Amino acid sequence: MIQLDDVHYAYDGLYPALRGVSLEIDEGESIAIMGSNGAGKTTLLKHLNGLLRPQKGHVFLDGEDTSKYSVAQLSRQIGLVWQNPDHQLFLDSVEKEIVFGLKNLGYDEEEVSDRCDRTLERLGLTHLSHRSPFSLSGGERKRVALASVLAIEPRILALDEPTIGQDARQKERLAKMLDQMNEEGRTVIVVTHDIEFVIEHFPRTLAMSEGIIVADGKTEAVLSNPTIVERCSLAVPQMTIVAQGLHQLHPEVSPRLTQVNEIESELIRLAGGI
């Protein structure tokens, strides 16, 4: 569905952000993009819906070069939610933020109202519908920005650091919503530093450093690889730390486990199956 072919981009022509990035993301995938600040993650996202255009290379959507399409056309297919919600919000009520895009796309009043109500409920924003977004907390504003994109129901959803500013309950609500969208067939792409969030909800992880893709594969393989973790300045998963401790005491235990259930199984085995 999405293909990047040898994409290069440098800000002001001087500061390389992407250095020959090539990847494919199939329809219905759920993928996390991780790496240190300045690795090129957000720049990559901006190429998906045409906010940035490759200075060399190509981006394809369903086999068509995205250079043929405007940002508005691509945004109907690919919804982007930025790390800073204030870059997306500009109206004086939560409800107006959500209906703005729907009206611009030509939906009738009944459809606009239905989609707005469903999205408010889905994100727990109904009680805030008449509040100004700028009177809300950072986490609430981020949910409003997400709602404004979700209401359009894009088939591809890309989010930049969606868990920042969210408490545990809000993060769980977000995770369930993204899982549901993926189950419905939508493609979900997330840029995040939240390693536990990735381990629990994203089967594929792409690790970046200095504008290149360092690793792309199964999440547990990428995030338990010490070379990749160090090169991309990632945090070691908590369960991997536990696994490494167990490995020192019991060499037969793999030091690259990432899941709670894997640790539980090893502990049960070590206890004699009790």
> Rounded to two decimals, what is the model's pTM?
0.87
Euclidean distance between CA atoms 81 and 84, whole angstroms = 9
Instruction: Give yes or no: residues 200 and 257 share one domain.
Output: no
Is 90 exceeded by the pLDDT of residue 190? yes
Of all residues in the chain, what percent carry a pLDDT higher than 70? 99
Instruction: Give yes or no: residues 58 and 28 share one domain.
Output: yes
Name every residue whose Cβ is closer than 8 Å to that of residue 126 and which is 6 or more positions away in sequence: 117, 120
Instruction: Give yes or no: residues 55 and 14 share one domain.
Output: yes
Q: Could you tell me if residue 35 is inside a domain?
A: yes
Q: For 233-258, what is the mean pLDDT?
A: 87
pLDDT at position 273: 63
Q: Could you tell me if residue 71 is inside a domain?
A: yes
Which residues span the domain enclosing 249? Answer: 237-274
| CATH number of the domain enclosing 192 | 3.40.50.300
Instruction: Give yes or no: residues 18 and 68 share one domain.
Output: yes
Instruction: Give yes or no: residues 73 and 38 share one domain.
Output: yes
Instruction: Give yes or no: residues 52 and 1 share one domain.
Output: yes
Q: Could you tell me if residue 171 is inside a domain?
A: no
Q: Could you tell me if residue 139 is inside a domain?
A: no
Instruction: Give yes or no: residues 202 and 249 share one domain.
Output: no
pLDDT at position 51: 93
pLDDT at position 142: 85
pLDDT at position 139: 81
Token pair 């696994």 in the structure block, residue: 243
Q: Could you tell me if residue 135 is inside a domain?
A: no
Euclidean distance between CA atoms 37 and 261, whole angstroms = 31
pLDDT-derived band at 260 (thresholds 50, 70, 90) equals confident
Q: Which ranges of the chain does DSSP label H, i.e. alpha helix?
A: 41-48, 71-75, 94-104, 109-122, 138-150, 168-183, 195-201, 219-223, 226-231, 238-249, 260-270
Instruction: Give yes or no: residues 221 and 249 share one domain.
Output: no
pLDDT at position 174: 86
pLDDT at position 99: 92
Instruction: Give yes or no: residues 273 and 209 share one domain.
Output: no
* Lowest-confidence region among 90-104, 142-156, 258-272: 258-272
Q: What is the count of structural domains for the chain?
A: 2
Q: Rounded mean pLDDT of the chain?
A: 90
Is 80 exceeded by the pLDDT of residue 119? yes
pLDDT tens-digit readout, 24-53: 999 999 999 999 989 999 999 999 989 999
Q: Could you tell me if residue 211 is inside a domain?
A: yes
* Residue 99 CB-density burial (10 A; 0-12 exposed, 13-18 middle, 19+ buried): buried
pLDDT at position 274: 54
